[in-house]
Amino acid sequence: MSEDLNQRSQNILEAIVKDYISSAEPVGSRAISRKHALNLSPATVRNVMADLEEMGFLCSPHTSAGRVPTSKGFHYYIDSLLEVRDLSDSEKARLTSSYQFKGMRLEDALQEVGRVLSGISSYTGLVMAPRFSSTVFRQIEFLRLSHKRLLVIFVSKTGLVQNKVIESDVDWTPHQLENITNYLNQTLHGLTIQEIRNQLSDEIQQERARASELQQQAMKLSQAALNAEVEDNVYVSGTTRILEQPEFSSPELIKKIFQTLESKQQLIELLDQAQTADGVQIFIGSQSQHHAIEGCSLISSPFSGKKGAIGTLGVIGPMRMDYSQVIPIVDFTAQLVSRVLERESE
């Protein structure tokens, strides 16, 4: 932060943030002086609060003499004052038992993660599925739909399934497609989609003359199937939880939040930033440079398999989130999902 607050200002800001998180009501100087062992008079607290408001850490709703933290105030609290507690062994055990992944397809498991996150946090759960280009190849199949139109079914090692219709300049027979499928499944097993794309590009450029007819056909068809980007999947759970928060009683604000949650691209941009980070990331209101979540906070973390960061999960809610509670839940869930993905990819 640009401002360096003294200890007294930090103590008062921390007290206001904590009281506002628990009550959702503006916090007054008398309440701070009475409830917190700061040994300061209400007048002294009031003067410090006025300074904090002038510096942009607090604001004063026009209907109340109390103050509420701004996004800047929350940002300072999280960066400098927040103590994130560790989950107890019993809490970890309860959280682990909440996720029942056995026998589930990956898509269903990720939706379950979002539902559990939403239920435990009482906010909205978000999960961005593994990026297609980072998934590890297990199986591909081509099915003839009509003249020169094929359905491609791709299955990753973790069980992620992607379907895509492609156009071909050849009218393939079922027998040809079967041979190509078998060749690709043997040749490309264990590579990521990005590695396959690079390999296909090199082979097509360098080995076209030496490749057999089957190899040439397979490379050409698989390049058409795997080069186009597949739409990223984002699972949103507990959208109506937002409506339960008193901050979001304004129809205009509700509309804006719902538009954000329904806009896959905006969510992908946010979750993308967390995918390249190490551990939990927190985006707070307009401080996040994403005005679509103004008035909200997003706590997110990447989850990963053996090939690196491949997905993101998190919780979105009001800036008045219980960060000390939600951060360890998001962090532990990401570790749990990572372990599941590693087991599935073995």
CATH number at residue 74: 1.10.10.10
Neighbouring CB atoms inside 10 A of 88's CB total: 9
* Domain membership flag for residue 111: yes
Reported for 163-166, long-range contacts at CB under 8 A and 24+ positions apart, including other chains, are 164/225, 164/228, 164/230, 166/224, 166/225, 166/228
Which has the minimum average pLDDT: 164-173, 213-222, 283-292? 283-292
Q: How confident is the model at residue 82 (pLDDT cuts 50, 70, 90)?
A: very high
Residue 50 has a pLDDT of 93
Paired tokens of 314? 């998190």
User: Which is more confidently placed, 196 or 68?
Assistant: 68
The answer to whether residue 152 sits within a structural domain is yes
Question: According to the model, what pLDDT value does residue 101 have?
Answer: 76
249 and 269: one domain? yes
Cβ burial, residue 231 (10 Å; 0-12/13-18/19+):
exposed
Higher-pLDDT residue of 297, 272: 297
- What is the pLDDT, as a whole number, of residue 220? 73
Write out the residue range of the structural domain in which residue 285 sits: 89-130+233-344
Low-confidence winner among 2-11, 18-27, 61-70, 117-126 (lowest mean pLDDT): 61-70
Question: Does position 327 have pLDDT exceeding 60, yes or no?
Answer: yes
The answer to whether residue 55 is domain-embedded is yes
Given a cut of 50, whether residue 29 has pLDDT beyond it is: yes
Asked if residue 307 belongs to a domain, the reply is yes
Lowest mean pLDDT of 131-140, 179-188, 224-233, 257-266, name the range.
Answer: 224-233
What tens digit of pLDDT does each residue of 231-260 get?
A: 668 899 998 887 788 877 777 777 877 777
Would you state the pLDDT for residue 287? 54
3-class state of residue 91 by DSSP: helix
Do residues 245 and 337 both lie within one domain? yes
CATH number of 161's domain? 3.30.390.60
332 and 237 in one domain? yes
User: What pLDDT was estimated at residue 189?
Assistant: 80
Least confident window among 112-116, 139-143, 200-204, 317-321: 200-204
Question: In terms of domains, do 154 and 27 share one?
Answer: no
pLDDT at residue 1, as a whole number: 44
Last residue of a domain, one of 201, 227, 253: 227
* pLDDT of 208 over the 60 cut: no
HSE at residue 97, side-chain half, CA atoms within 13 A, is 6
On whether residue 2 sits in a domain, the answer given is no
- Specify which of 75-79, 164-168, 208-212 reaches the highest per-range mean pLDDT: 75-79
In a domain, 158, yes or no: yes
Q: Which of 119-128, 184-193, 270-279 has the least mean pLDDT? A: 270-279
What are the tokens at 198? 């690079």
Contact yes or no for 212/179 (Cβ under 8 A): no
Residues 178 and 139 in one domain: yes
Look up the CATH number of the domain holding residue 317. Answer: 3.30.450.40
